[in-house]
A and B are shown apart, each in its own frame.
Chain A
Amino acid sequence: MKSIGLRQVAATRVFLVGLCLLMVPASRGTLSPRRGGTLRVELHAQTVSLDPREWGTGMTASATNEKLAALVFDRLVALDNYGRFQPQLATEWSHDAAFKRWQFTLRSSVKFSDGTALSAADVVAALQPLLPNGQQIAGSGNSVVIQSAVAVPYLLEELASGRFLVYRVQSDSTLMGTGPFFVAEANVGARKPPVSVSGAIAPSHLRFRANEEAWSGRPFLDGIDVTLGVPPLRQLFDLQLGRADLVELSPDLVRRAMQENLRVWSSAPVTLYGLRFDDAQPAAADAKLREAVALSLDRQTMANVLLQKQAEPAAALLPQWLSGYAFLFTMEEDIEPAKEIRAALPAHAAAGKEPLRLRVDASGDLAKLLGERVAVNARQAAIPLQVVNRAALRGSSSATATSTDPAPGLHLFAWHYSSLSSRVELESFVSTLNLGETSGSAVSSTDPEQLYAREKKLLEERRVLPLVVLPEYVGLGPKVRDWMPAQWGEWHLAEVWLDVPEPSAEQRGNSNATSPGAKP
């Protein structure tokens, strides 16, 4: 390399300083985030609950709740996109050799959005109602300890996902968080305290504002306006017309959005559609009939035709990205053996007197379409199957079923994966869908073969049949920058910024003065 003399060094200094003056606004490398602006989000959900205590396990609605709650509340730890646990409200953690006692040191000087300090007692009060039976949390000084009756080697995965958010319940039962945003307005025309959020709410708009005191630093956005209850097609139009910056895309609109050169992001498959047999209809108890139904299912057509290749056929209960071993399961699809099994069944066992009733428990048109397709497949194997809607079978699968309701033998369900621990997720699945006793050993073992064996057994019993898994699709406006979500669906909106000119101080003041609930 050519040497540079003193004169050149001096010239360099002058040049560099001059360059510095010339390039002050634009000399940073990759586009630097800009502060300001309001992100306009449209969602299909009619209602949301930001109270983690109210979220049902596996419910698809929980996905929306979790995304919005993550704006307001923090976790003890987070999992980054590289498989590393990152400190959030906890800065250090340790466990004993048996994985039964976990200690977390809390970050100091963390404040709730009203300026009051976070304490260990807050963390204990928030997490104890959320922890499963057998786990106790206690606080002391600046640390909390989770003590479990059984080994919990995957506690960090559990705490980094799902409903394990830290909140404070206020005297009026509303919740408050330490996250990057707070709810400024939760209902048009019905003001609530500006720093709090209640549980289940059904506003048409939710307005979040940047938390200036967030321990992680103020987010780049001034605010996020969320409009609820927007039909999918309307969301697409609003994105095209620049009236929204971030929308949910239903699978049937993804191809259209791509053809129109809109930015589309998809997560890993996070929702499973499947069938669950219910002994309430006696025919469903027959293992041979279940095998025939399983063999009749044409998952490829469901994924490729009904869902226009926006879904994947599912052979496993847990998706590949979560379990790591799903590829070992193969789909059993063969209509001829299905017919043979059906033909060999005695008439009374093969739903001969009455058709096998399939109730579509999952909401939405997609679930109905899948239900109809299951019926078509079953009939191809000479299995009479009748799809009944929820109104006709109101309450039939619950304890409140009336004697006049015909009991379903089959349910079509949707399951949203919410835990980053495959063990916890599978056991939640088993428990919620009443598929048998939960296995403590599968959760507490560090041997992945036990989990694999557990899932394999469930699939072999054929009381539950996976159909397809779907990702989440998001349409993004051209101004949205630093969109860096997690593959499992966390949006990370605190990192997002809008590529628009920074407002002047005066404009910023005017912006803050807009009336609550007004659409920007």
Chain B
Amino acid sequence: MYAKQKLSPSHYRGLALPCVLLAFLFACSPTPTHADSLEDGLKALALKVCAPSRKQSVQMNWQESPGQPGIFSASAKKAFLAQLSACGMETTENPEAPILNVTVQFTPSRLLLIADAGGAIDSRSARMIELPRAALAASNELPPALHFRKELLWQQEKPVNSAVEWLDKSSQQHFLFLLSEGLFVRLRRENGEWIPVDSSELPPGKQSRLGRGHFVYGYPDTQLEILLDGKECGVELGSRVSFNCKRTDIGGKITAISSTCDGTYQILSTGTGDHAQRDRITLAGPNVTRPPLSEDELRSGSVYMPGPVLDMLASLDGQSVAAVVKNLSTGNYEVYRLTTSCGD
């Protein structure tokens, strides 16, 4: 067995091989659900619990930490109990039976599944299984508010600077474009999933802690452009992506959305927190200068995001906004589609 972990560098220099870029794309695929690895871990833990023990019945006590509610899914619990049962250990509601506590604990890089029977199983009393902590994908999202919908389009571990949904008029194909670690990444919608198409290196430039580049629309042709190191780079979307850059003074992003209720345009604003805080995006009304004032307005026209909003860009038809968020629970970069509804 040969274990290997490959991680892409934060930015590429020169022309990288296509296979490297393809590898990057697949490395960007959504992280696996935690059920699989946790289930495997719980099965292994059950084997450890019952292997040296005398056959007996135990009361199960699943202990979840407040920060990780629901971490033991029904299927994971079932897998654990099935494994216990297979080796002759049954669970019971009998209060006289010894209690078997099962808990998950986190260390900086690992998570420990611990079965602690308080001496009921054997003298060592605690059985443990260790898993990579990164295998767990956690989420503490709050449900979206009524008048404002968010939909997770994409998530990846590598930083995303900017994102935009794009409908190719000639082919009617639906794309999601990302700027990530010096790459322009194309994803295409197929059968309800985003399929990586290719990625192209952005024109060379200086690395920044904020990443490089943000999508904007050029004027007056509404061509997709990237603001990159003080340059305005037109994007040619052919079989391969190419860029045409020139100096510019423009340096902002567009944050507006078309209301489906009355056809007016609503300004989207975020909070004034920094990158260490969760953010919420608020419909600030059609008046650019007036922020929402009342709590009612905030409640009905806000949607909480799982981390700071790094970038927002409206679609060309103004009906949706792509927002890039760093999820503070998972550390992943996520792209959301935001749309408005009339509250029905």
Q: Would B256 and A322 count as touching, CB distance under 8 A?
A: no
B253 contact set on A, CB distance < 8 A: 20, 27-28
Q: Would A83 and B133 count as touching, CB distance under 8 A?
A: yes
B208 contacts chain A at the CB level, 8 A cutoff = yes
B26 contacts chain A at the CB level, 8 A cutoff = no
Q: Mark B4-23, 1 if CB is under 8 A from A, else 0.
A: 11111110010000000000
Listed residue (A15, A82, A93, A328) with the most chain B CB atoms within 10 angstroms of its CB: A82
**Shortest Cβ distance from residue A162 to the other chain B in the assembled complex, whole angstroms:** 13
B241 contact set on A, CB distance < 8 A: none
Q: Mark B139-154, 1 if CB is under 8 A from A, else 0.
A: 0000000000000000
The residue from A19, A25, A30, A448 contacting B310, defined by CB atoms under 8 A apart: A30
B86 contacts chain A at the CB level, 8 A cutoff = no
**Shortest Cβ distance from residue B162 to the other chain A in the assembled complex, whole angstroms:** 10
User: A59-117: which have CB < 8 Å to B?
Assistant: 79-87, 91-97, 107-109
Selected interface stretch from B32-40, B89-97, B192-200, B262-270: B262-270
Total number of residue pairs linking A and B with CB closer than 8 Å? 221
B6 contact set on A, CB distance < 8 A: 92, 94
**Shortest Cβ distance from residue B163 to the other chain A in the assembled complex, whole angstroms:** 12
Q: Would B3 and A91 count as touching, CB distance under 8 A?
A: no
Contact (A325, B2) CB under 8 Å given A4-B317, A30-B308, A452-B128: no
**Shortest Cβ distance from residue B220 to the other chain A in the assembled complex, whole angstroms:** 7
The residue from A25, A220, A483 contacting B209, defined by CB atoms under 8 A apart: A220
A79 contact set on B, CB distance < 8 A: 108-109
B235 contacts chain A at the CB level, 8 A cutoff = no
Q: Would A87 and B270 count as touching, CB distance under 8 A?
A: no
B319 contact set on A, CB distance < 8 A: 1, 4
Measured CA separation A517–B124 after assembly (Å)? 59
- Which residue of B has the minimal Cβ distance to A31? B274
B105 contact set on A, CB distance < 8 A: 320, 324-325, 327
Measured CA separation A327–B124 after assembly (Å)? 15
A323 contacts chain B at the CB level, 8 A cutoff = yes
Q: Would B10 and A16 count as touching, CB distance under 8 A?
A: no
Q: Would A94 and B207 count as touching, CB distance under 8 A?
A: no
B13 contact set on A, CB distance < 8 A: 108-109
**Shortest Cβ distance from residue B331 to the other chain A in the assembled complex, whole angstroms:** 3
B302 contacts chain A at the CB level, 8 A cutoff = no
Contact (A9, B316) CB under 8 Å given A23-B252, A87-B9, A324-B110: yes
The residue from B210, B216, B217, B318 contacting A33, defined by CB atoms under 8 A apart: B210
A304 contacts chain B at the CB level, 8 A cutoff = no
Q: Would B274 and A30 count as touching, CB distance under 8 A?
A: yes
Q: Mark A207-219, 1 if CB is under 8 A from B, else 0.
A: 0000000011111
B128 contact set on A, CB distance < 8 A: 325, 447-449, 452
Q: Would A324 and B10 count as touching, CB distance under 8 A?
A: no
A141 contacts chain B at the CB level, 8 A cutoff = no
Q: Would A27 and B127 count as touching, CB distance under 8 A?
A: no
The residue from B3, B114, B270 contacting A95, defined by CB atoms under 8 A apart: B3
Q: Would B281 and A29 count as touching, CB distance under 8 A?
A: yes
B312 contact set on A, CB distance < 8 A: 28-29
Q: Would B209 and A452 count as touching, CB distance under 8 A?
A: no
**Shortest Cβ distance from residue B82 to the other chain A in the assembled complex, whole angstroms:** 23
B74 contacts chain A at the CB level, 8 A cutoff = no
Listed residue (A83, A452, A495) with the most chain B CB atoms within 10 angstroms of its CB: A83
The residue from A17, A156, A320, A495 contacting B275, defined by CB atoms under 8 A apart: A495
Measured CA separation A452–B126 after assembly (Å)? 9
- Listed by A's residue number, 25 A-B pairs whose Cβ atoms lie within 8 Å are A4-B263, A13-B222, A16-B254, A27-B254, A29-B279, A29-B281, A29-B309, A30-B273, A33-B210, A80-B331, A82-B330, A83-B109, A84-B134, A87-B9, A108-B9, A216-B209, A219-B209, A320-B105, A323-B107, A324-B106, A327-B105, A328-B116, A328-B125, A328-B126, A487-B108
B interface residue numbers (CB < 8 A to A): 1-10, 13, 105-112, 114, 116, 124-130, 132-134, 136, 157, 206-210, 216-217, 219-220, 222, 250-256, 258, 260, 263, 265, 267, 270-277, 279, 281, 288, 308-312, 314, 316-319, 323, 330-331, 339, 341
A interface residue numbers (CB < 8 A to B): 1-2, 4, 8-9, 12-13, 15-17, 19-20, 22-25, 27-33, 79-87, 91-97, 107-109, 156-157, 215-220, 320-325, 327-328, 420, 422, 446-449, 452-453, 481-484, 486-488, 494-495
Across chains A and B, which 5 residue pairs bring their CB atoms closest together, nearest first? Answer: A83-B133, A29-B309, A82-B331, A24-B252, A324-B112
